Amino acid sequence: MQHSILYVLAWLWMLPVFGQDASLRIRVQAPPQTPVGDSILVIGNQAVWGFWIYPKSTALKPLGNGLWEGVFTFPVNTELEFKLTRGSYYKEALYNHTGHPAVSTKLKLVKDTSVFLQPSQWNDLYQRSITGTVRYHHQMGSVYLKQTRNVVVWLPASYALNTTKRYPVLYAHDGQNLFDHTNLSGKEWRMDEVADSLMRKGAIEEFIIVGIANTKDRWIEYNGTVEGKNYLRFLVEELKPFIDQQYRTKADRANTAIIGSSMGGLISLYALYTYPQVFSKGACLSSAFYFDDGDLLAQIKANRSPLRQSAVYLDCGGKDLDYDFLPSNREMKTLLEQDKNIRFQYEEFPDDPHNELAWSRRLFLPYTFLFAKNYANM
């Protein structure tokens, strides 16, 4: 009997403890650029943190010298996930000077725990090499994609000044490489500088740029695959309605364009071909028709009608991967230029390699082709 009681007590001791709480102490060393007067709040997967809907927890307490601290209590074994903000999703903490993404902290609270976080910047202040205003939408979910998506929106200079004006939209792939040279590749398209310069000269109309970051699934999502079709559904059915709701856009076909390079150029032409009712124009730089699993070349050869009444810019360099891509780009050129109902421009750059620097140098060409004022109402 005594042994049985001891056995039961030992068995109970090994069970998870229910009803017991533990504390989470969050201490933050705020970036030096944190505006005076702002507070730091937590958003996360618990009620006290707003269930990811909006930061609603009590602000952390300032301790001086940029240090902030807050203590929260939860049941033992609670799975926690949270981010730091200054009270808005536009003001999330960034780490490691990359700007992408605003990462969350995850842990299982098995005992009293302290966490020290040291953000490098806030996303609304992250403008290192960016000309103009950008807004970040991090970790956007999709019913069509396995991975969440980071989206950055670049706004033209007049956007904040003229609050009634609406703008065309250019959707751009590989969003990490468009505006900021401090991304992981260290190179950028300079989409912001080139657009701003041409707009200020009056060479092109003003437009909004929506950059969609790639993920580890880039190769199959920017391709003629099932995953590629799902990526386009995300753009058309989820992202575009969100952008049109959040920003002052011209949402019609005539004012919706798409651009990309390499595999991004391939999926851009797929977008024009698959959704001609949504996109009226696109630019495909150094396009990877060479690696297309869906054989868009054969599809267009059999039927060019989806591209009629559309505008297509196509180009290719002559070095590195572009050397291998050039024959299929020339083949696509031959197909498209045969149809006079497709507004088409093709360029070759024999000395250009396959990288962001080369694309940035010739970016003025697709910008002018897509958004020249005399074609604004095409």
The overall average pLDDT reported for the chain is 89
Separation in Å, CA 156 to CA 131, 167, 177, 282, 334: 9, 9, 18, 19, 36
Report the C-alpha gap between 363 and 344 in whole angstroms: 16
Question: Domain count of the chain?
Answer: 2
Half-sphere exposure of 206 (CA within 13 A, CB side): 16
Confidence grade of residue 239 (pLDDT, cut at 50, 70, 90): very high
* 107 and 197 within one domain: no
With residues binned 3-state (H G I as helix, E B as strand, rest as coil), the percentages for the chain, rounded to 5, are 30, 25, 40
- Does 5 map to a domain? no
Confidence grade of residue 104 (pLDDT, cut at 50, 70, 90): confident
Strands 169-172 and 67-75: unpaired
* 91 and 154 within one domain: no
Scan for tokens 């969100």, then name that residue: 242
Beta-bridged to residue 152, according to DSSP, are: 136, 211
- Does 174 map to a domain? yes
* 153 and 92 within one domain: no
3-state secondary structure (DSSP) of residue 229: helix
Sign (positive or negative) of CA dihedral 217, 222, 225, 229: positive
User: Domain holding 241: CATH number?
Assistant: 3.40.50.1820
* 274 and 144 within one domain: yes
Domain around 82: 20-123
Prediction pTM value: 0.70
- Does 24 map to a domain? yes
Contact indicator for 32, 66 with CB cutoff of 8 Å = yes
Strand runs labelled E in 156-225: 169-172, 208-212
Question: Could you report the per-residue pLDDT of 4-40, keeping only the tens digit for each?
Answer: 444 434 444 444 445 699 999 999 999 888 999 999 9
* 301 and 244 within one domain: yes
Contact indicator for 286, 317 with CB cutoff of 8 Å = yes
User: Domain holding 30: CATH number?
Assistant: 2.60.40.10
* 48 and 191 within one domain: no
Give the pLDDT confidence score for residue 12 in this predicted structure.
Answer: 41
- Does 7 map to a domain? no
Task: Look at residues 95, 123, 151 and tell me which one is the last residue of a structural domain.
Answer: 123
* 327 and 343 within one domain: yes
**Pick from 231, 345, 191: nearest CA to 282:** 345
- Does 294 map to a domain? yes
* 65 and 153 within one domain: no
* 132 and 108 within one domain: no
Task: Look at residues 123, 150, 180 and tell me which one is the last residue of a structural domain.
Answer: 123
Angle at 279 between CA 276 and CA 285, to 5 degrees: 110
User: Token pair for residue 176?
Assistant: 């990490």
Share of the chain above pLDDT 90, in %: 76
Neighbours of 43 (CB within 10 A): 24
**Pick from 351, 349, 350: nearest CA to 363:** 349
For the segment 309-328, the average pLDDT, to the nearest whole number, is 97
User: Token pair for residue 249?
Assistant: 């856009």
* 108 and 95 within one domain: yes
* 205 and 85 within one domain: no
- Does 342 map to a domain? yes
Task: Look at residues 123, 139, 154 and tell me which one is the last residue of a structural domain.
Answer: 123
- Does 172 map to a domain? yes
65 exposure class (CB count in 10 Å sphere: 0-12, 13-18, 19+):
exposed
Asked whether the bond before 101 is cis by omega within 30 degrees of 0, the reply is yes
- Does 10 map to a domain? no
Element (H, E) at 258: strand 256-261
For the segment 87-96, the average pLDDT, to the nearest whole number, is 79
* 144 and 222 within one domain: yes
Report the C-alpha gap between 206 and 154 in whole angstroms: 11
Report the C-alpha gap between 352 and 197 in whole angstroms: 23
